[in-house]
Amino acid sequence: MSTAAAPVRQLDATTVAELREAAQKILDEFGTSATSPELMERVARTAGQLGDTLKHQCRPVDTADGLFVLRGLPVDDEAVGPTPSGWADAGDSGAVYDIALLLLATVMGRPIAWEGQQDGRFVHNIVPAPGHETQQTGASSTVLLSPHTEDAFHPGRAHLLMLACMRNRDDIATTAASVRRIRLADGDVDLLTRPVLPILPDDAYAEAQGFAEQPPPPVPALYAAEDGMTLRFDPAYTPLDDADADYRAAYGRLSDELGRVSVPVSLSPGEILVVDNDLVVHGRVPFRARYDGTDRWLKRASVRVPGRRTRPAAEAGEHGYGQAALEAHTGPTPATRTGGALS
């Protein structure tokens, strides 16, 4: 699936100008896209004043594909500067796009960040980094980034994932597969809706404390929500060897089905892929980074949708491996600091 085949929502020129002007005004006022309570409060207030056309284009995912591409926001390749050599070196590179992405995320729900990832920033820079080529993180390049639920280990993970393209000269595809497109036998569904194995934190987190004192909680890979099946899936960080043969076989068939329905989505600069994190696993095809300032560069935002019922109630009791989720407008809450689900 190229972006031409993916569900596309086109922003008109008037809407794009409204979004760009709002983002630039906030950047001019604060001088940085590094988030603070004051900046996030201003983003929330401004997002509430954006027009109905933009809000309509930011409506929930409404197809079984579980995703859409928001198109129309231009990117000046020269103005954004070279692709950073790693997230820690990105600073305010492309800062106005950080704020535009935060505005869009706030229209869709509540942006979240993580204390243990990219210094707690609400917008992440996803770029290849030297020394990380073979890791199962966004900084990798030469390996297939396995299809996964974003932050699957945590009960406070995002409902929506936003990937905004700054640069993609090599047409490197993000892969996406919707659980609503797969076919599984009833017996496999029965096995996979049982909480059998935990999902461990990935290598992108600076520290993952909490499971040394408490056992990792087993979680179901599938969940029958009110409107259909959802999933929580990250095979690279799931200790499958700890399960019995029947469960491993069912999990393998789920993985195979996700592979069968997987589609490549190649983003162009200015396009934003919005993925329903409860329906779709995403990954990335391998590529060889040049580290010359022209490599693929995405910006990522994570969004929670208050009141959404797409996950088992038992998740609220998970410890979250000590990772604190930060929610825009309120900062860390007691629940997120102890690893519980965000409300």
| pLDDT value of position 88 | 74
Spell out the per-residue pLDDT of the chain, length 343, in tens: 455 568 999 999 999 999 999 999 999 999 999 888 999 999 999 999 999 999 999 999 999 999 999 999 999 999 999 999 877 777 788 999 999 999 999 999 999 998 877 778 899 999 987 776 777 777 666 667 789 999 999 999 999 999 999 999 999 999 999 999 999 999 999 999 999 999 998 766 645 444 556 789 999 999 999 999 999 999 999 999 999 999 999 999 999 999 999 999 999 999 999 999 999 999 998 889 899 999 999 999 999 999 998 999 999 899 888 888 888 764 443 333 334 444 3
CA distance 175 to 159: 18
CA distance 74 to 271: 8
| pLDDT score for 341 | 42
Q: What angle do CA 202, 203, 208 make, to 5 degrees?
A: 70
Distance CA 80, CA 93 (A): 6
What integer pLDDT is reported at residue 339 of this predicted model? Answer: 40
72 is written with which tokens? 């129309």
The whole-number pLDDT of residue 329 equals 61
Q: If DSSP codes are grouped into helix, strand and coil, which group holds residue 264?
A: strand
Overall fold of domain 8-337: Double-stranded beta-helix (3.60.130)
Looking at residue 121, what is its pLDDT?
A: 87
Q: Does the reported pTM lie above 0.85? A: yes
| Cα distances (Å, whole numbers) of residue 142 to 88, 135, 136 | 20, 9, 10
Contacts of 197 (CB under 8 A, 6+ apart): 218, 219, 221, 238, 239, 240, 242, 243, 247
- DSSP per-residue string spanning 13-79: HHHHHHHHHHHHHHHHHHS--S--HHHHHHHHHHHTTS-HHHHHHTSPP-STT-EEEEE-----TTT
Residue 324 pLDDT = 81
Q: What is the pLDDT of residue 213?
A: 65
CA distance 93 to 322: 30
Nearest CA among 315, 297, 330, 295 for reference residue 75: 297
Q: Which amino acid is at 143?
A: V
| CA separation, residue 200 to residues 32, 233, 323 (Å) | 34, 11, 12
Pick from 162, 184, 150, 181: nearest CA to 278: 150
Q: State residue 336's pLDDT score.
A: 36
What is the pLDDT, as a whole number, of residue 210? 47
Residue matched to tokens 């396009």: 271
Taking CA 336 as the corner, what is the angle to CA 333 and CA 340, rounded to the nearest 5 degrees? 130
pLDDT at residue 328, as a whole number: 77
